[in-house]
Amino acid sequence: QVQLVESGGGLVQPGGSLRLSCAASRSIFSINAMGWYRQAPGKQRERVAAITSGGSTNYADSVKGRFTISRDNAKNTVYLQMNSLKPEDTAVYYCRAPYEGYEYWGQGTQVTVSS
């Protein structure tokens, strides 16, 4: 079992930055393809970024060049650095970890981009 706790969300002006953290309750060394997802009101949850255990990354087209996903296996934490934020980035952001055939999700952290 894996428990995930997100933090770092908040209210930021357009063009601003935030860094989200996802702390896992166990070692993430062998957990592949950890990812960040988001869900805006009235919309489906979408994948924002993912990172493999080897460090390969991929991003949704809407965030390429603005967001960076990284992982620190020693701290059992995955990060999402978000720069040049736009109002359309407003959503609840969730961390996901696949582990032993199951999917684990955090409780989410709210990101609001507004002036």
Q: What is the per-residue pLDDT for 106?
A: 96
The better pLDDT of the pair 113, 27 is held by: 113
Q: What confidence tier does 15 reach under pLDDT thresholds 50, 70, 90?
A: very high
Which residue do the tokens 């967001």 mark?
67
Q: Are strands 10-12 and 109-113 parallel, antiparallel or unpaired?
A: parallel
Q: What is the pLDDT of residues 25-72, one digit of tens each?
A: 988 888 888 999 999 999 999 999 999 999 999 999 999 999 999 999
Q: What is the pLDDT of residues 3-13, one digit of tens each?
A: 999 999 999 99
> What value does the mean pLDDT take over residues 72-83?
96
> What value does the mean pLDDT take over residues 9-21?
98
The size of the chain, in residues, is 115
Residue type, position 60, single letter: A
Q: What is the per-residue pLDDT for 29?
A: 85
